[in-house]
Every structure is written in structure tokens, then in C-alpha cells.
């Protein structure tokens, strides 16, 4: 449910933005700000891992539910652009807490042989939420209803959280410290955390998922209805690819899926640059989403959780959230100006280059963690 709410609330803006822009006559800067304000909330909520050390994983998820509920209600009722920004900021806080704490919880309760699948349940929730958001945008065409729908899954999760147990004892959480992240023995893992967090964002996923309708309109899908239909296809491919990753991640391994993902994403983005046409752009974006969903989407939070000892896991996931969403913030606020300056192909060319650079880095430094329990993974790094 945390994944579903994150997926719905971050994706619904792609369709709602068209209708909000018409209602409030937004400029490109204002439209970008409305998308990016949730990123600011996400960045600030990167403290959630540290918060979960202090009050527990479960209470932190309850707090995210409150942010989702109140933020969704404000967005639904907002009479002006400023209040709408405030509502989206609260929703961003909820998304930030959920996307940091839910993977921590799942990592701590999952057995080694199916840990990849368990973590991918969160990704399936994200993909399902995104698809529902795109479908609702296509069918409803009312931004107030689109934002208001998000209140219901928040209420469902609020009830459900009372029936789960805490995943980590207070004694284990109380040992957490930032100092343990900078000791020499942790340096190789710390560098991997930085790399996975940065390149998950730098490869352009936020631009594709948040601005898909705008991209399709810019390359020739003339009306909002056709661009939203094309965006719905993006959501469907996202979910199907996540399901493929769900069934294969513990067999094929993290490295194989990550490398295939980065190469496929790069090839898709280069096609947009080389063959600028509506159909090629649509097909290339669908392939980009598919490759992202089997690797660069689910694997960074999974691997970061696996390689981080329990006494720093909350801090590390906070670090991942902060780095990733601060980078995503700059991706979102710069995307429309880049489109206007470099064109669609030129903008996506930049993201393709980051895919290639990321492939080289992770091929060199990323170990395989499939089928290993958390103690075995810890020993793997201690041996280096």
C-alpha cells in the first residue's frame, strides 16, 4: 500500500497537470513548480530513515498515511494555486516517508531466498498506483477528483498498519549513528549507495514518468486525450515489466538485470534522439519504461538495503532518499526548459549518456547479492 500510494501520487500529476494548467492558466515555470514541489517534500522526508530509528518503522508509516490523507484533501478542495502547492507538498512528504521506510521494513522481515521478490512487491505497488493514476487521468479529466482519489488508499493503509508488527527492536535502532557511515571499512558500500542513488535519478525516470503527456504532445500527439492514452500505455508496460522482474530477480540476479536495464534504457533514449517522430518516440519511451522497471527501478533500493547493516540502514535509506530526490528535483525543474532549448531528442540524449556512464561504474564495483542472507553480504564487504 505504501508503494501504491507513492505510485499514484507521483504519477497522477502527469495527467492532472494538463487540466490544472488550463484552470489556473499556469506558465511553464509554475507547471514545473507544481510537479517539483512534491520533490521538495520528498527531499525533506529523506529524514524518514532516521525518524524510523527513533520512533520505529511502523509509526513512521502511520505518519506517512496522515500526510497522504491531509495532503490529498487539501488538493481536492484547493481554491487557488498556492493551496494546491501546499497540498502537493504534504503529499510529497508522505511519498518520501513511504518510499524510504517501506523498503527498510521489507528488507528486515524478508528471508534471503525471496528477498528480491518481497522488495519487488513494493515496486508492484508503485507500478499499480501509476497505472491507476494514468487510467483515471484518461477517463475522468477532472484534476480535483484525480487528487481526491488518493485519500481512499491512505485510509485503507491507515487501518491495515494496526495489524502488522514492528520489524526492528529499539535496541538495534538505538545503535544507529552517522559516524558509522564514514568509517574506512564502510567506504566501498557508501560509494555504492551514492552511485545507485544518483544514477537512478540521472537516467531520466522522473522526466519520463512525470512529463509523459507533455512529451507526447511535443512530438505530435495533438490533443490531451491522445497523449493521456499514450501515457496509460506507459503505466501498463511499467506494471508488466515489474511483474517480470518480480519473477526473475532472485534467479537472474541483481547485476544481470541492472546491466540489461541500463543498456536498454540508453538504446531507447538514443532512438528518440536519432529518429524524432511521434510513433518512434512512443515506442522508445515504452521500451525505456520496460527496461527501467526490470532494473534501475527496483534494484537500487533493494541492493542499498541489502548492503547496509541494520545499525545504519535507516540512515543509509535516508541518504538514498535525499540524494535521489534532490537530483530528481533538478531533473523536473530543468526538463521543460531543456525541451524548449534542446528539443525532445537532445534532452533525452543527455539521460542516455548517464545510462552508459552508470553501466561502466556498476559493472566495475557492484557485487552480486542474490540468495545471500544479510550476514553473508556483510562479510562479503569485510573481505575486501
pLDDT, tens digit (0-9, with 9 covering 90-100), for 216-248:
766 666 666 776 777 778 888 888 998 998 888
- The predicted-structure confidence for 345-372, as pLDDT tens digits, reads as follows 899 999 999 999 999 999 999 888 888 8
Cell numbers representing residue 136 in the block: 483515471
Confidence of residue 174 (pLDDT cuts 50, 70, 90): low
pLDDT at 148 over 60: yes
For the residues of 82-124, what is the DSSP string, one character each? HHHHHHHHHHHHHHHHHHHHHHHHHHHHS-GGGHHHHHHHHHH
Residue 384 has pLDDT above 60, yes or no: no
Query: What's the pLDDT score for residue 316?
Result: 86
Least confident of 182-186, 209-213, 271-275: 209-213
Nearest to 269 by CA among 246, 291, 254: 291
Instruction: Measure the CA angle with vertex 138, ends 137 and 144; round to 5°.
Output: 30
- Map 326-364 to HEC letters: HHHHHHHHHHHHHHHHHHHHHHHHHHHHHHHHHHHHHHH
pLDDT top residue among 222 and 160: 160
| Separation of alpha carbons 212 and 227, rounded Å | 8
pLDDT of residue 193 exceeding 60: yes
pLDDT at 371: 82
pTM of the model: 0.80
Average of pLDDT values for 8-28?
86
The pLDDT, as a whole number, for residue 268 is 95
Give CA separation, 95 vs 4, 8, 68, 230, 281, in Å: 10, 10, 8, 25, 29
Q: Give me the residue label for grid cell 542474490.
A: 370
Give the separation between CA 112 and CA 242, rounded to whole angstroms: 20
Q: Which of 47-61, 66-80, 205-219 has the lowest mean pLDDT?
A: 205-219
Q: Higher confidence at residue 82 or residue 380? A: 82
**Given pLDDT bands bounded at 50, 70 and 90, which one contains residue 29?**
confident
pLDDT of residue 173: 67
CA angle 229, 234, 240 (to 5 degrees): 125
Question: Worst-scoring range by mean pLDDT, 88-97, 255-264, 339-348, 372-381?
Answer: 372-381
Q: How confident is the model at residue 256 (pLDDT cuts 50, 70, 90)?
A: very high
E strands in the chain: none
Among candidate residues 77, 148, 140, 67, the one with its CA nearest the CA of residue 101: 67
Amino acid at each position: 500500500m505504501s508503494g501504491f500510494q507513492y505510485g499514484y501520487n507521483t504519477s497522477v500529476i502527469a495527467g492532472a497537470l494538463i487540466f490544472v494548467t488550463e484552470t489556473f492558466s499556469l506558465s511553464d515555470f509554475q507547471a514545473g513548480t507544481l510537479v517539483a514541489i512534491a520533490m521538495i517534500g520528498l527531499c525533506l522526508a529523506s529524514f524518514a530513515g532516521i525518524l524510523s530509528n527513533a520512533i520505529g518503522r511502523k509509526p513512521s508509516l502511520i505518519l506517512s498515511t496522515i500526510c497522504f490523507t491531509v495532503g490529498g484533501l487539501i488538493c481536492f478542495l484547493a481554491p487557488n494555486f498556492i493551496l494546491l502547492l501546499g497540498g502537493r507538498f504534504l503529499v510529497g512528504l508522505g511519498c518520501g516517508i513511504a518510499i524510504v521506510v517501506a523498503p527498510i521494513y521489507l528488507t528486515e522481515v524478508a528471508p534471503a531466498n525471496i528477498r528480491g521478490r518481497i522488495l519487488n512487491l513494493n515496486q508492484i505497488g508503485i507500478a499499480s498506483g501509476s497505472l491507476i493514476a494514468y487510467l483515471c487521468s484518461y477517463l475522468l479529466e477532472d484534476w480535483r477528483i484525480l487528487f481526491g482519489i488518493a485519500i481512499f488508499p491512505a485510509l485503507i493503509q491507515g487501518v491495515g498498519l494496526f495489524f502488522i508488527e514492528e520489524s526492528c527492536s529499539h535496541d538495534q535502532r538505538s545503535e544507529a549513528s552517522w559516524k558509522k557511515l564514514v568509517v574506512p571499512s564502510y567506504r566501498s558500500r557508501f560509494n555504492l549507495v551514492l552511485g545507485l542513488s544518483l544514477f537512478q535519478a540521472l537516467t531520466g525516470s522522473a522526466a519520463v514518468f512525470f512529463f509523459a503527456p507533455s512529451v507526447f504532445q511535443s512530438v505530435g500527439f495533438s490533443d490531451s486525450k491522445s497523449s493521456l492514452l499514450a501515457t496509460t500505455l506507459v503505466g501498463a508496460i511499467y506494471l508488466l515489466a515489474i511483474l517480470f522482474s518480480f519473477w526473475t530477480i532472485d534467479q537472474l540476479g541483481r547485476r544481470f538485470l541492472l546491466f540489461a536495464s541500463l543498456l536498454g534504457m540508453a538504446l531507447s533514449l538514443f532512438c528518440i534522439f536519432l529518429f524524432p517522430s511521434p510513433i518512434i518516440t512512443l515506442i522508445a519511451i515504452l521500451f525505456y519504461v520496460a527496461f527501467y522497471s526490470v532494473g534501475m527501478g527496483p534494484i537500487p533500493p533493494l541492493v542499498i538495503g541489502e548492503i547496509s547493516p541494520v545499525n545504519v540502514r535507516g540512515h543509509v535509506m535516508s541518504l538514498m532518499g535525499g540524494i535521489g530526490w534532490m537530483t530528481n528535483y533538478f531533473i523536473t525543474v530543468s526538463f521543460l526548459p531543456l525541451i524548449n532549448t534542446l528539443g525532445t531528442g537532445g534532452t533525452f540524449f543527455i539521460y542516455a549518456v548517464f545510462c552508459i556512464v552508470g553501466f561502466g561504474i556498476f559493472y566495475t564495483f557492484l557485487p552480486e547479492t542474490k540468495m545471500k542472507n544479510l550476514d553473508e553480504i556483510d562479510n562479503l564487504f569485510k573481505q575486501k
